[in-house]
Amino acid sequence: MKFRVVEIFASLQGEGVNLGKPAVFIRLAGCPIRCRYCDTKYSWDPLGGVEIDAEEVVQRAAAYGQLGHVVITGGEPLIWRNLHELACPLRRLGTVEVETSGVYPPTPQLDACVDFYDVSPKLSNARVDALLHPHYPRSPKAWFKFVVGGEEDVEEAVRYVEKHGIPRERVFLMPLAETPEQHAEVLRRIWDAAVKHKLRVTPRLHVEAWGNVRGR
């Protein structure tokens, strides 16, 4: 099975439940959702990247050394209906985490090979119609990151969590930011609302360190 791969790189997981873990990132091409704030628009074209066989992707990922954790991202990786043909062999390299908007459900074969879903449900600040699939709130493997730019977004996230029955202990707020300056400014804006609503906050480590650059 071949996949269109935009980039493969080693970095620290900059977001969410596996924050700070050294990981190999595999960014697949294609995303039909098109969030207004997306910091990875170069991944949207489904014909972008290069076509690589799953086993070759695993070899290239393995070349970074046994980092122990692999992140499949995009783009929207769940549009690839045979994603298990990549996720399952990647388990040879460690735990497997999938970054997703949560719009598309995993197949049972994929779910068996995933350790973490890092789900980013879309609030009105994304300016898209993207419904969270009911598979994720009830999955013990799913963690949730709401991109927020200020207090109003935090309040919307609180309503969203309640409406969709998302377990609060699996929820993170994450600054809508592409530069270290924006990141610090948004953190200050959401800080008290996060405390008030007892919601965890995840930074975007790579944005704080490098801004929005490829391969980091």
Ligand X SMILES: Nc1nc2[nH]cc(C(=O)O)c2c(=O)[nH]1
55, 144 in Cβ contact below 8 A? Answer: no
Contact residues for 180 (Cβ-Cβ < 8 A; gap 6+)? 207, 208, 209, 211
56, 12 in Cβ contact below 8 A? Answer: no
133, 139 in Cβ contact below 8 A? Answer: no
Q: How far is the CB of 208 from ligand X (least distance, A)?
A: 10
Residue 117's closest CA among 83, 93, 149? 83
**Position among 40, 82, 107, 212 found at the interface with ligand SF4 (CB under 6 A):** 40
90, 96 in Cβ contact below 8 A? Answer: yes
> Which residues inside 33-72 make contact with ligand X, applying CB under 6 A?
40
User: Judged by CB under 6 A, does residue 75 bind ligand SF4?
Assistant: yes
- The verdict on whether residue 31 carries a ligand-binding annotation is yes
- The verdict on whether residue 37 carries a ligand-binding annotation is yes
Residue 146 neighbours by CB distance under 10 Å: 25
Q: How far is the CB of 113 from ligand X (least distance, A)?
A: 18
User: Judged by CB under 6 A, does residue 101 bind ligand X?
Assistant: no
**Position among 74, 77, 106, 149 found at the interface with ligand SF4 (CB under 6 A):** 74
- The verdict on whether residue 153 carries a ligand-binding annotation is no
Contact residues for 40 (Cβ-Cβ < 8 A; gap 6+)? 27, 74, 75
C-beta nearest to ligand SAM: residue: 120
**Position among 8, 11, 84, 102 found at the interface with ligand X (CB under 6 A):** 11
Residue span binding ligand SAM (CB under 6 A) among the ranges 5-13, 63-71, 155-163, 176-184 = 176-184
**Position among 12, 26, 29, 35 found at the interface with ligand SF4 (CB under 6 A):** 35
> Which residues inside 141-170 make contact with ligand SAM, applying CB under 6 A?
145, 147
Q: What is the DSSP string of 18-67?
A: GTT-EEEEEEE---SS--TT-S-GGG--TT-SEEEEHHHHHHHHHTT---
Contacts with ligand SF4 by CB under 6 A lie at 31, 33-35, 38, 40, 43, 74-76, 101
* Residue numbering of the annotated binding site for substrate: 12-14, 27, 73
